């Protein structure tokens, strides 16, 4: 019985933290998500999409080859290369995650365009 009560407190506690994170995202917090596209031969493009209030504020594009040599570019607002637009839907996506305020300065895309 005591273990069940502790488990309930932990689950409720995590739910409360998740609720606070979702609420912060709705109040101007910045989130990040990714989209992946194939690039022949043996390479891929990953878009890191930064959003505030449901709108894209910055996009980081990282294109890496099979040797893990990468080129990175930063663009203010929404950005997608023509070849990725032609591909259609990305083959991989992640859900948006809230970036803690203390970590915002570590994201070059945000600091480069003074977006926080």
> Does residue 76 lie within any of the structural domains?
yes
C-alpha span between 98 and 115 (Å, rounded): 15
Considering its fold, how many domains does the chain have in total?
A: 1
Q: Are 110 and 31 in contact (CB under 8 A)?
A: no
In a domain, 13, yes or no: no
The confidence score (pLDDT) of residue 90 equals 97
User: pLDDT grade, residue 66 (50/70/90)?
Assistant: very high
Domain assignment present for 89? yes
Query: Is 18 a domain residue?
Result: no
Q: What percent of the chain has pLDDT over 90?
A: 72
Judge whether 6 lies within some domain: no
Query: Domain limits at 72?
Result: 30-112
Dump pLDDT digits (tens) for 27-44: 679 999 999 999 988 999
Domain contains 8: no
In a domain, 51, yes or no: yes
Query: Quick one: tokens of 103?
Result: 């970590």
Which bin fits 54, alpha (ψ -120 to 50), beta or left (φ > 0)? left
For the entire predicted model, the pTM comes to 0.77
How far is residue 85 from each of residues 22, 35, 80, 92, 94, measured CA to CA in Å? 30, 12, 7, 14, 18
Q: Please give the structure tokens belonging to residue 35.
A: 């989209």
Q: What is the pLDDT of residue 7?
A: 36
């Amino acid at each position: 019985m005591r273990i069940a009560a502790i488990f309930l407190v932990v689950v409720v506690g995590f739910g409360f933290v998740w609720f606070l994170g979702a609420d912060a995202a709705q109040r101007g917090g910045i989130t990040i998500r990714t989209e992946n596209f194939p690039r022949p031969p043996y390479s891929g493009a990953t878009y890191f999409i930064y959003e505030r209030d449901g709108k894209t504020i910055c996009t980081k594009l990282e294109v890496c080859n099979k040797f893990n040599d990468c080129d990175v570019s930063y663009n203010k607002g929404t950005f997608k290369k023509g070849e990725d637009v032609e591909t259609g839907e990305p083959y991989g996506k992640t859900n948006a995650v809230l970036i803690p305020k203390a970590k915002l300065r570590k994201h070059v895309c945000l600091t480069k365009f003074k977006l926080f």
